[in-house]
Amino acid sequence: MKSIYLDNAATTPMLPEVVEVMRQSMQENFGNPSSTHQFGRKAKASIERVRKEIAKELNVSSSEIIFTAGGTEADNLIIKNAVENLGVKTIITSKIEHHAVLHSIEFLVEKYGVELVYVDVDEFGEVVLDDLEDKLSRIDGKVLVSLMWVNNEVGNLLPLKEVSDVCKRYNALFHSDTVQGIGHYKLDLKATPVDFITASAHKFHGPKGVGFAYFGKGFGIQPMIHGGNQEKGARSSTENVHAILGMGKAFEVAYENLVVDTDYIKGVKKYLLDELRAISSDIQFNGMSSDLDKSTYTVLSVRFPVEDKMMLFNMDLQGIAVSGGSACQSGSNKGSHVLSTFLNEQEAKKTSVRFSFSKYTIKEDLDIVVNFCKNRFLSK
């Protein structure tokens, strides 16, 4: 039986060149970056090179990039720092954010009494910018707006520049969870000012367990992890040299091949979209995921016209790996908090499947998936 992987929004397979960079590092670059001898200096120079390359692509200073263990830690570091160190009293977010953001904010509400305000989303899960501006205009004191760039479940694209402009008008800090966007879209943080962003290497064919946070210049950082004051005092713990180098290679390859890969993956998504539409007009698409301009090219969220609790299980039995929502909560039976936010109860009960693509996705695999869906749907 052939294995078909269509869960790239959960994680992507590592590139061979990333594996090779990490292998070489494990064998030849084992020094502690905090050591002053030649082995330590070599390791330190290697991770600083990666930091500079990431910063150059984002058009920021390398001092503004902090390496972390992934996107969740980066989100936590930014949001908690905003409250505990930067004096934020109110946080505006949406109900369709990743739990790395939502649960962090809920913790701060309980611990510090932070005011939590949810911005409206429409029937497609799009943030209502007029409502964001209205809410900002009514709040006194320091505010953090936290809205994700690319929704991990339905693929909606937030208009970063427009949100940034609104935040600047009201002197609000702006954090965006950009985990699903970094490595897939160009982002110039001078042209599109965002105060804080996050990234995770395994979303763009790098290793798991490593990512970074961007803190705009001038924002002090109090660490969550105390110890040896690594990462300019922002994150104590010996840097994961091999993973950082792997992330650097994945980041480099992603942006070197961005145009070609984007065109190819967008074609793959359109192919599956068209094939599913051909099965039945009753098959619908969640959020903006069927709009190739307003959603990421890597995600297609499909809502089938029936409730089929065994669909994902049976797809797995056929070797097809997909997700019903965020893989971060795949063990939960509560359903998708994203879909339940903007779908009515009847629609939310129907079976939704998130297909997510990479440059390794091929149309021949999608034909097998379409046949499975056709047979499954027609049997109901």
Backbone angles phi, psi at 94, to 5 degrees: -120, 165
Residue 356: CB partners within 8 Å, gap ≥ 6?
6, 7, 8, 9, 10, 298, 299, 300, 322, 323
Q: 127 pairs with which residues across the strands? A: 121
Task: Yes or no: say if 288 and 344 are a contact pair by the CB < 8 Å rule.
Answer: no
Alpha-carbon span 201 to 179, nearest angstrom = 9
* 328 is a catalytic site residue: yes
Q: Could you count the other beta carbons within 10 Å of the beta carbon of residue 346?
A: 8
Backbone angles phi, psi at 141, to 5 degrees: 95, 180
Alpha-carbon span 67 to 74, nearest angstrom = 8
Residue type, 185: Y
Residue 172: CB partners within 8 Å, gap ≥ 6?
92, 136, 143, 144, 145, 166
Q: First-to-last CA distance in the chain?
A: 25
Catalytic choice (86, 328, 348, 368): 328
Alpha-carbon span 222 to 144, nearest angstrom = 17
* Residue among 147, 137, 140, 70 nearest 105 (CA): 147
The DSSP secondary-structure symbol of 117 reads E
User: Catalytic residue numbers?
Assistant: 328
